[in-house]
Amino acid sequence: FSLIVFFYFSFTVCLFHMAINQFLFQWMDKYESKMLPETDARYQVVKRVVGHLSESNKDIPQVSALTWAIHVVDEPEVNAFVLPNGEVFVFTGLLNAVSDIHQLSFILGHEIAHAVLEHAIEKASLVHFLDFLSLIFLTMIWAICPHDILAVVGQRIQSKLQEFIFDRPYSRTLETEADKVGLQFAAKACVDVRASSVFWQRMELVETMKGEPRLPEWLSTHPSHENRAEHLDRLIPEALKIRERCNCPSLSGPDPRLIFRLNRQHLLESYRAQESQNSTNQDLSKTEVDFSHT
């Protein structure tokens, strides 16, 4: 049985690498016309941040083994990801959503952590393994009671159970792990790690202002913005010690989390005042939120 499992996993990893290449081709094709040229200032910023993060963490073999290639896509979505082969994709929506280079460095540290920790392979292996087990389970059901309808219903129930009991909690665990390791990467690059929590608090504030419906965390593939900020707040003291050990320049000025907290109340109040002035038919999704002083 262990030999079957071994071949099964080897086959999964092989399929996975083929899927990455396929995914890369599809993406390059889809966003070809929206890729920023290397001469664009935004491309240069992303390149410098990734270069600085990888240089500061080159003692980690998985970091130095990869060649990081940058792709900046001109799309409003707040998104970034890194493929396991080191291809970094950043959307201009994310560049607009961060308020400084420290927040961007943390987010890219998080994405690099996903690649270094081989989360995509881990996830694909788990999904394939669960599919494999469910196939055995469904075959047994069908052997005992060979009705097609039972097989269809069984398959539906099994896929939903798998999604909510294994897949989504597992995704959230991987996100939390990438936050922790990404913060360490950022600390070694002398980033002001306190900005990491500010980024998620800002995202939470934007969501509150836009009145976007929130999924309960257990239904989501990602931890809630609030929980991410709290988790990072707990990790920041250790990350600050890493900064010190790396002989980074000491952080001057007030804590950005304190500034954000002071601004948050003011922003919410002015937003609500503005909202009550505007007509009830206003489309909230088009409202611009100015964060330039956070």
Taking the complex as a whole, the smallest distance from the CB of residue 174 to Zn ion amounts, in Å, to: 7
Taking the complex as a whole, the smallest distance from the CB of residue 127 to Zn ion amounts, in Å, to: 17
Return the residues of window 157-176 that contact Zn ion according to CB under 5 A: 175
Taking the complex as a whole, the smallest distance from the CB of residue 180 to Zn ion amounts, in Å, to: 11
Task: Please count the residues of the chain.
Answer: 294
Residue 275, C-beta contacts closer than 8 angstroms, at least 6 positions apart? 282, 284
CA dist 61 and 107 (Å) reads: 21
Return the residues of window 57-96 that contact Zn ion according to CB under 5 A: none
Taking the complex as a whole, the smallest distance from the CB of residue 178 to Zn ion amounts, in Å, to: 5
CA dist 47 and 230 (Å) reads: 29
Residue with Cβ nearer Zn ion (80 or 198): 80
* Greatest alpha-carbon span in the chain: 71
Residue with Cβ nearer Zn ion (109 or 154): 109
Taking the complex as a whole, the smallest distance from the CB of residue 182 to Zn ion amounts, in Å, to: 8
Handedness of CA 280, 282, 284, 287 (dihedral sign): negative
3-state DSSP helix/strand/coil % of the chain, to nearest 5: 70, 5, 25
257-194-196 Cα angle (round to 5)? 100
- Amino acid occupying residue 227: N
Residue with Cβ nearer Zn ion (62 or 134): 62
Copy the structure tokens of residue 242: 């890493």
89 phi and psi angles, rounded to 5 deg:
-115, 125
Instruction: Write the interaction track for Zn ion spanning residues 118-157; mark x where CB under 5 A is met and - where it is not.
Output: ----------------------------------------
Strands of 80-82's sheet, edge to edge?
Answer: 69-73, 87-91, 80-82
Count of residues interacting with Zn ion (CB under 5 A): 2
Return the residues of window 173-212 that contact Zn ion according to CB under 5 A: 175, 178
Report how far apart, in Å, the C-alpha atoms of 215 and of each of 36, 77, 98, 163, 218 are.
Answer: 33, 19, 23, 15, 8
CA dist 33 and 200 (Å) reads: 31
Residue with Cβ nearer Zn ion (181 or 248): 181
Catalytic position from the list 111, 163, 238, 275: 111
Residue with Cβ nearer Zn ion (36 or 174): 174
Residue with Cβ nearer Zn ion (114 or 257): 114
Active site residue 122: no
Do strands 80-82 and 69-73 pair parallel, antiparallel, or not at all (unpaired)?
unpaired
Residue with tokens 């900064």: 243
Taking the complex as a whole, the smallest distance from the CB of residue 210 to Zn ion amounts, in Å, to: 22
CA dist 69 and 200 (Å) reads: 26
User: Active-site residue numbers?
Assistant: 111
Provide the binding-site residues for Zn ion, judged by CB under 5 A.
Answer: 175, 178
